[in-house]
Amino acid sequence: MKLPSKPSRTTEANPKRGYTIQAVVRAASILNAFQSTSEVLDLRVVASRVGLHKATTFRLLETLVETHLLERAGKQGYRCCVQLARNKRYRIGYGSQTSLLPFTAAVSDGLVVAANNANIDLLVLNNALSPRVALQNADTFVSEKVDLVIDSQINVGIAAQIAVKFAAARIPFIAIDIPHPGAIYFGADNYKAGRMAGRHLAKWATKNWKNGPEQIILLGVDAAGPLLNARLSGVLDGIHEVSPTAHRIPTHHYDTKGGQFEATLDVVRRHIRRRAPERALIGAVNDSTALAALQAFREAGIERNCAIAGQDGSLAAREELRRRSSRLICSVAYFPETYGEQLIRLALDVLKHKPVAPAVFVQHELLTPQNVDKIYPNDTWMKSSPESI
């Protein structure tokens, strides 16, 4: 007769320990729901993250507030007051596009702050608008064995080479503004943003120029390939949409060597000397090129012969929009000051193997002299002086 076997001590996976206090376990799960001390969560989000009923979650939240481990943030939000030790401190590589453009500087500043708040080590390298440097930096990220890379480089010709390096090292990466094979794209819907600016340019010309524009100038970044210059395609289509006869107007496209101010200034100066524009609509790939074009027309004494649309919504562009009678008539804002927190949140989702979309599009909004103070009411509080023209 076969005797029954004794129960094995390993038959029950993860047995509960008799002295575990479930209320403490639940409170700890609430604290662990916060990824950093800067993150503000409402009741619904916390309950979803910890998998508890809202009523139970609410009681735990309020208890943790009373014990000063959490604090209330606004009417319905909560913020963690303690920096919890995590099982792993992630290390992320960030390849900055350049230190010369205000937009990129705003992205970099926000990313450094967000990484620090999330207890992440951030290795920052400057791609310097150079394909050679960007490739070297990719090698550095691989040799440093970072957990993930956030790359902002505009030379589409080396995108595949960079992608191969990270794929071979099994390092996930996020590409800002310019798609790379195998990367998660984070950036603008460039064509939509350009079309928004183009429509505004055409409407402005219809209202202010009796005979309409006599030429169109597009200032692009050819090294970035078709995606970034899709802003200019959008500008042109937006103009044609509002002014069906605009397709007969001569259009001049110029490369600005990475969207830099000085290079654009030289280009537009030469154009003014050769073409003597009387009514020129100008679509610029970013605010640096828009402001450079404005300076070229202004120093030639013919500012009233142009109307310019920028892209980025930079502080310098916002100050110019506030200037009476300026011919920078709009800029599309992308709010780069918000990129850092969004990028770190996306990076953590990737590292924790959560499902993420292959492309994350940022918010953009048309800034004009009429709405700039409403959208950016706190510019006058900023200590840094805007770039002058």
Contacts 24+ apart (CB under 8 A), 72-76: 73/40, 74/40, 76/42, 76/43
**Cα(353)–Cα(358) distance, rounded to whole angstroms?**
13
pLDDT of res. 18: 63
Residue 7: DSSP 8-state: P
SS3 label, residue 212: coil
The sign one gets for the Cα dihedral 315, 319, 321, 326 is: negative
Neighbours of 105 (CB within 10 A): 16
Domain 22-80 class, CATH top level: mainly alpha
Is residue 142 packed enough to be buried (19+ CB in 10 Å), middle (13-18) or exposed (0-12)? middle
Q: Find the length of the chain.
A: 389
pLDDT of res. 126: 94
Q: Do domains 22-80 and 190-333+365-381 have the same CATH topology?
A: no
pLDDT of res. 17: 54
**Cα(276)–Cα(250) distance, rounded to whole angstroms?**
13
**Cα(108)–Cα(247) distance, rounded to whole angstroms?**
40
Tokens of 114: 């967000």
Q: pLDDT tens digits, the chain, 389 residues: what are they?
A: 444 444 433 333 444 556 788 889 899 899 988 877 778 999 999 998 898 999 999 999 999 999 999 999 888 899 998 877 655 689 999 999 887 788 888 899 999 999 999 989 999 999 998 999 999 999 999 999 999 999 999 888 999 999 999 999 999 999 998 889 999 999 999 999 999 999 999 999 999 999 999 999 999 999 888 888 999 999 999 999 999 888 999 999 999 988 889 999 999 999 999 999 999 999 999 999 999 999 999 999 999 999 999 999 999 999 999 999 999 999 999 999 999 999 999 999 999 999 999 999 999 999 999 999 999 998 877 545 444 43
Pairing of strands 173-176, 184-187: parallel
CA 176 to chain centre: 7
pLDDT of res. 385: 46
pLDDT of res. 193: 96
**Cα(52)–Cα(44) distance, rounded to whole angstroms?**
10
Domain boundaries, the chain: 22-80, 91-188+338-357, 190-333+365-381
pLDDT of res. 271: 98
| Fold annotation for 91-188+338-357 | Rossmann fold (3.40.50)
SS3 label, residue 372: helix
pTM of the full structure:
0.72
The sign one gets for the Cα dihedral 338, 294, 288, 316 is: negative
The β-bridge partners of 95 are 125, 151
Q: Tell me which CATH code domain 190-333+365-381 carries.
A: 3.40.50.2300
